[in-house]
Chain A
Amino acid sequence: MTAVRLGSAVLLFAILVAAGAPLLADLQHVYAASGQNPIVTGTLSSVDFYAPIKASVIVSVLATLLALLWSSVPAWLLASMPAKAILAALAFPVLIPPIVVAYSFAVGIRLLGLQPSLATLVVALSFLTTPVCIFVLRHGFQTLDADTLAAGRNLGVGRSRLFRFVVVPHVAKSVALGLFAGMTLCWSDFYFSWFLGGLNQTISTKVYSAASTSITPQIVVLASIGALIAAVLVFAALQYSTVTERDQ
């Protein structure tokens, strides 16, 4: 039994090392390159370097906010009913390979006569993020105590005040979780940006196009920044998640 535990621990350690090794290798490349050329002053001050980061931030924030806005009412509705079939249907596009969903959006905007742009990318990514937001918000609404709401109504509190002072503080944690989880999903996207971003390159498409020819220190720095922000987003999402709390 101890051997099994030891083996599992070693396996987890190996997985963590393998997960972090390429990132460390990238940072090593950056460090090595920084000694030869003024990478910090040269790269970080160029407009070309900041454009993909700016595009990624705009897209992930706007798409997630749109998805949260869009999913709040369905989540409220689904919280009060047994909705296994509807939730399964909502999860369906998440399970379809992203390349197919992104391609279908590209076909859709082509048929509508629209051009790929940041706006189409935001709308498409909000569609992808909506199920995640619905699941998270629904859980938040479900944990809302019906007695508290009833007590508020009995005390003569109006709908808007009840929403502002009871519902919103209660679901704030779920909203924060939905925000960070959605932003992580949008931040790491590649296929949607590839098909729908048009000339606006996000971090992943910029890295893909540039690294196809040669991996320069600038690209490594860009990707490292992307990975670091993704790690921060995941960490922030987990702080608001109750999934990691063990049942007692």
Chain B
Amino acid sequence: MWVHRWVMRLPLVAWCMIAAGLLMAIVRISFDATADGFLTNNWSFENWRVVATTERYTNAVVTSIVGSIFVATLALGVALPAGRWLALHVNPIISRFVLPLLAIPYCGSYVLRLFSIQPWLSGESYFGIVQRLFSLHHDILYTAQATFVGQLSVLIPLLCSFCYFAYVRIPSPVLYAAQNLGVRGGRLFWHLELPLAAPLLLSGWVFAFAFTLGDAVAPFVLGGGNPPTAAVAVLDRTQIGDWPSAAAIALELIAGLMLPLFFLLWIWRVRR
């Protein structure tokens, strides 16, 4: 019987082994060096030293983490009221048609979407009219703001659906009971809705954070590589064949992801 049980578990074990193997492969290759386009097994810390001491790379990692926290928080802040309204006040039949629309920016062609936004931010199109209207002569294309606009254009609709699902899971009788007891507005939101919706909202935030942290397309197409981000650095290094340095930066990205994750878990435990 136990043999049968272990055979059944094999796919799960295989999946975990692949995941661990991939991580080990990055760690292994980060200690290599490249010579004439080939990897040499020399187990040196040179890549780590270069990545940790070169200002360009340290700035890229810090910029990525700070920018990702900013974008994820802003996207969730904007998406929350819209998602809440969609879940609580819109007919479910209509919401079923609205939800796919919200997912299109993420699931559709993200790459072309960014190229479509490019002329808008260069002052040639509608955004230029708004800029002239408010006497803003600052061209935001190829700046960090343009990158944020591109990422937010995808994340806000997507997080709207996260917020929708978070609110749909709250049982209606609980909300009605609270309203009958006279709890409304801010108190209802803070003491009832937010704690009940928090798991999915936090998942949405983490998803948005991970998406922004690993996004290399928007910083390249809209940001013009200015300021440099860690994901762009990974793409750049692999394109010139420097896989070991790219591995070291990728591992720093994973470490950068872990910091807010552990912080969020700590907050969650303290709150509980």
Interface residues of A (CB under 8 A from B): 1, 4-5, 7-9, 11-12, 15-16, 18-20, 22-23, 25-26, 70-71, 73-74, 76-78, 86, 89-90, 92-93, 95-101, 103-108, 110-111, 127, 130, 184, 187-188, 190-191, 195, 203-204, 207-208, 211, 215, 219-220, 223-224, 226-228, 230-231, 233-235, 238-239, 243-248
A96 CB to nearest B CB, Å: 6
Given A220-B112, A238-B96, A231 contacting B107 (CB threshold 8 A): yes
Give the residue name and chain of the A residue nearest to B9 (CB): A77
Segment of B46-54, B55-63, B84-92, B128-136 in the binding face = B84-92
- B107 and A86 form a contact (CB under 8 A): no
Listed by A's residue number, 18 A-B pairs whose Cβ atoms lie within 8 Å are A8-B81, A12-B98, A15-B160, A16-B102, A70-B11, A71-B11, A74-B12, A100-B26, A103-B246, A107-B29, A108-B25, A111-B25, A187-B107, A211-B111, A231-B100, A238-B100, A246-B172, A247-B172
Complexed CA–CA distance, A219 and B116 (Å): 11
Given A16-B98, A223-B112, A247-B171, A73 contacting B29 (CB threshold 8 A): no
Complexed CA–CA distance, A137 and B247 (Å): 34
Residues in chain B near residue A211, CB distance under 8 A:
111-112, 115
Residues in chain B near residue A226, CB distance under 8 A:
108-109, 112
Residues in chain A near residue B250, CB distance under 8 A:
99-100, 103-104
B78 at the interface (CB under 8 A from A): yes
A49 CB to nearest B CB, Å: 15
Contact pick for B28, options A18, A99, A111, A235, CB 8 Å: A111
B225 at the interface (CB under 8 A from A): no
Contact pick for A22, options B26, B99, B117, B261, CB 8 Å: B117
Given A26-B112, A226-B109, A127 contacting B11 (CB threshold 8 A): no
B170 at the interface (CB under 8 A from A): yes
Nearest 5 Cβ contacts at the A-B interface: A97-B214, A227-B108, A223-B112, A8-B85, A12-B82
- B107 and A230 form a contact (CB under 8 A): yes
Complexed CA–CA distance, A70 and B155 (Å): 30
- A207 and B109 form a contact (CB under 8 A): yes
B178 at the interface (CB under 8 A from A): no
Residues in chain A near residue B102, CB distance under 8 A:
15-16, 19
B210 at the interface (CB under 8 A from A): yes
B104 at the interface (CB under 8 A from A): yes
B192 at the interface (CB under 8 A from A): no
Give the residue name and chain of the A residue nearest to B169 (CB): A247
Give the residue name and chain of the A residue nearest to B232 (CB): A99
- B214 and A190 form a contact (CB under 8 A): no
Give the residue name and chain of the A residue nearest to B152 (CB): A18
- B109 and A223 form a contact (CB under 8 A): yes
Complexed CA–CA distance, A69 and B207 (Å): 26
- A247 and B170 form a contact (CB under 8 A): yes
- B253 and A188 form a contact (CB under 8 A): no
Give the residue name and chain of the B residue nearest to A90 (CB): B15
- A26 and B206 form a contact (CB under 8 A): no
- B84 and A184 form a contact (CB under 8 A): no
- B168 and A243 form a contact (CB under 8 A): yes
Give the residue name and chain of the A residue nearest to B237 (CB): A103
B19 at the interface (CB under 8 A from A): yes
B257 at the interface (CB under 8 A from A): yes
Q: When each residue 1-31 of chain B gets 1 if its CB lies under 8 Å from chain A and 0 otherwise, what string results?
A: 0000000111110011011011101101100
Give the residue name and chain of the A residue nearest to B86 (CB): A12
Residues in chain A near residue B10, CB distance under 8 A:
73
Given A97-B210, A234-B103, A18 contacting B153 (CB threshold 8 A): yes
B110 CB to nearest A CB, Å: 7
B159 CB to nearest A CB, Å: 10
- A238 and B110 form a contact (CB under 8 A): no
Residues in chain B near residue A231, CB distance under 8 A:
100-101, 103-104, 107-108
- B11 and A73 form a contact (CB under 8 A): yes
Residues in chain A near residue B253, CB distance under 8 A:
97, 99-100
Residues in chain A near residue B15, CB distance under 8 A:
70, 74, 90, 127, 130
Q: When each residue 224-254 of chain B gets 1 if its CB lies under 8 Å from chain A and 0 otherwise, what string results?
A: 0000000100110010000100110010011
B123 at the interface (CB under 8 A from A): no
- B25 and A95 form a contact (CB under 8 A): no
